[in-house]
Chain A
């Protein structure tokens, strides 16, 4: 899927800090990646690796005391990090749609689904009342809700979790954004519903060719959906690779650890499961050098002394002094 055109979203050296009792702690440390037009970029990592913070930082929706303190974010030539609050508001929902994680809490409980859709559409598109309504009904239909005109008048509590997440997706997409950031879109759902929602996201992506940033901790979701994958660890990029390459020949020891820690049947059909020893360092407790070095079986002196830069290869990049050889993991 990689092509020669300029990336749609280009994030460089994105840094987010949190002010803890006067001490600045780095939550995201110079994270760089890009998303091509029509591409699905998976962002994967353990809880606390900075995945959600990355998504929120792009649309300037960080919850204080988290604060963006450095880096550039460019969307189709526009520097998002330099926009006024007003201009940023038209980007949110208009250029970049955001799918929230938990459909139980992300819909306003006292406003009808139809009203929430119409308000969102009218915030970005200059449409008359009846056209707005038609578009809202159309989106309810596109995300697979039966009887859109009935659902239009309903309140969130009258829908199941899966249906609510469909509404959330409709809300994120109804103003035709060029990029969708989906933050753990299936994590809060039942497994059977998860599959439906993923399918819906993939169908919508194919129909509209919208670019997508899919934030998840689930490598299964990544394998199903993503074109390329960025692996985050302790607020830094560990590796970015096309999805096939990532699963077959991971370069960063952490990536391989993640893959092996995911229950997956091997070629012979048996389940294997290896865990990575230790735990990811918390905020402000990142060791010197490579953040992964205390848990890494390949760590040497240089890993403990300096932070490895992002080495670029043809289609991938990794941040490791001693990458894994090109053998099957």
Chain B
């Protein structure tokens, strides 16, 4: 187990270094920081001074080490567009996106997992077929359509929920949360529901297929032949065999939402990372884009790492494949 964990962590660090290098190349080769940082009438001396200060006269690998060293000390560089530290920009936007991602993950687990299990255990029931029909819509409808539909129904027609913003936010000092106020929850519901439509549908279909397959297996038949209750057979013996792919998918989906909820955030004017990313691309704000890339890599790698460290707890065979 220790070996397994250590090797996963080393792998994660290596991948992060590679991503950082690619992002660094982006910063080092695209755009002209001097033009962005110097005034138009700067002298040659001022120019040379800045070059020396930014270390632009150093060889590439020295600069990369500097880049990594600065990041480890919390210095992520400055935005070309706003001149603000990139760290501040991201820290300002992060809470909104993370909260959105977790609420939509919550919806996915609360709605998708039970519905998927129901469809897997009773694939031929009327209700099961109905769920499958609905889930087809969830898979095929693009996010912005779902978002606009939800706004049209719940905000425009029924006037129940706000269609944009985060509602009232409480500042905890390090984190601005919308989850402590009623208006925050009302505001987060529609975007979170929009983001979770696809995931709910996906988890339902995946759990159903997995359960139907496991249900046919010889060990489930043997469990029946031993007189175990149907509840125990499905909810313990069968489910445990389907958990690996399900938590893998949930992890990837969570990363996906944190990193790429651009469209939904736009539809609901959600002040999150997605809209920051969009603005940075439009303004060719290379440092922000680069740090954002590294951040996305970090999110995916950490989630993946957690998921992989969970594997052996669910299926000990993972450890054997390792050795």
A residues near B (Cβ < 8 Å) are 59, 61, 63, 89-94, 97-98, 100, 102, 105-111, 119-120, 123-124, 155, 157-158, 168, 171-172, 175
Could you tell me the distance between the alpha carbons of A61 and B225 in the complex, rounded to whole angstroms?
7
CA distance A59 to B217 in the complex (A): 18
Task: Say yes or no: is B129 at the interface (Cβ < 8 Å to chain A).
Answer: no
Q: How large is the interface on B (under 10, 10 to 19, 20 to 34, 35 or more residues)?
A: 20 to 34
A120 in complex: contacting residue of B219, B220, B226, B315, CB < 8 Å: B226
Task: Report which of B220, B224, B240 forms a contact with A92, defined as CB distance below 8 A.
Answer: B224
Task: Select which of B222, B227, B317 is within 8 A of A157 by beta carbon.
Answer: B317
| B171 contacts A by Cβ under 8 Å | no
Instruction: Let me know if A105 and B314 touch, CB within 8 A.
Output: no
A18 vs B25: C-alpha distance when bound (angstroms): 67
Least CB distance, A3 to chain B, in whole angstroms: 29
B228 within 8 A of A: yes
A102 to B320, alpha carbons, bound, how many Å?
21
Report yes or no: A124 in contact with B227, Cβ–Cβ below 8 A: yes
Write the nearest CB–CB distance from B276 to chain A, whole angstroms. 42
B227 close to A92 (CB less than 8 A): yes
Q: Does B279 contact A (CB under 8 A)?
A: no
Contact in complex: B222, A98 (CB < 8 Å) = yes
B241 in the interface (beta carbon within 8 A): yes
Per the bound structure, the CA–CA distance linking A63 and B228 in Å amounts to: 17
Give 1 or 0 for each of B109-133: 1 = CB within 8 Å of chain A CB. Answer: 0000000000000000000000000
Q: Is B150 an interface residue (CB 8 A)?
A: no
Q: A252: shortest Cβ distance to chain B, in Å?
A: 31
CA distance A158 to B225 in the complex (A): 23
Contacting residues of chain B (229-244) with chain A, CB-CB under 8 angstroms: 229, 232, 236-237, 240-241
B222–A107 touching, CB < 8 Å: yes
CB within 8 A of B226: which of A123, A155, A157?
A: A123
| Residue pair A171, B315 in contact (C-beta under 8 Å) | no
| Interface presence of B218 (CB below 8 A) | yes
Cβ of B81 under 8 Å from chain A: no
Tell me the complex Cα distance, A61–B224, Å. 8
Q: Which residue of A lies closest to B225 (CB)?
A: A98
Q: How would you classify the secondary structure of chain B's contact residues: helix, strand, loop or mixed? A: helix
**Distance of B139 from chain A, by nearest CB (Å):** 28
CB < 8 Å neighbour of B225 from A93, A111, A155, A157: A93
Shortest CB distance B207–A (Å)? 16
Interface centre among B223, B237, B240, B317 (most CB of A within 10 A): B223
**In the complex, what's the smallest C-beta–C-beta distance from A270 to chain B, in angstroms?**
41
User: What would be 15 A-B contacts, judged by CB atoms less than 8 Å apart?
Assistant: A89-B229, A92-B227, A93-B225, A102-B218, A108-B223, A108-B241, A110-B316, A111-B236, A119-B232, A120-B227, A120-B228, A123-B228, A123-B229, A157-B316, A158-B316
Contacts of A111 in B (CB 8 A): 236-237, 240
Q: CA separation between A66 and B317, bound complex, in Å?
A: 34
3 shortest interchain CB distances as A-B pairs: A93-B227, A93-B226, A92-B227
Please, how many angstroms separate the alpha-carbon atoms of A124 and B223 in the complex?
A: 13
Residues of chain B within 8 A (CB-CB) of A108 are 219-220, 223, 237, 240-241
Min CB–CB distance B197 → chain A (angstroms) = 31
Measured CB to CB, the closest approach of chain B to A68, in angstroms, equals 16
Are the C-beta atoms of B237 and A155 separated by less than 8 Å? Answer: no
* B residues less than 8 Å from A158 (CB atoms): 316, 320
Residues in chain B near residue A89, CB distance under 8 A: 227, 229
B229, A155: Cβ atoms closer than 8 Å: no
- Closest residue of A by beta carbon distance from B242: A110
- Whether A105 and B229, one on each chain, are in contact in the complex, defined by CB atoms closer than 8 angstroms, is no
Contact of B66 with A by CB under 8 A: no
Inter-chain CA distance A102–B222, complex, in Å, is: 11
Residue pair B315, A110 in contact (C-beta under 8 Å): yes
> When chains A and B are docked, how far (Å) is the Cα of A97 from the Cα of B226?
7
CB distance from B223 to the nearest CB of A (A): 7
B303 to chain A, nearest CB (A): 22
On chain B, the residues within 8 Å of A168 by CB distance are 222
A59 to B224, CA, bound (A): 10
Let me know if B237 and A123 touch, CB within 8 A: no
**Nearest A residue to B219 by beta-carbon distance?**
A108
Across the interface, B219 reaches (CB within 8 A) one of A97, A109, A157, namely A109
Report B-chain residues with C-beta under 8 Å of the C-beta of A120: 226-228
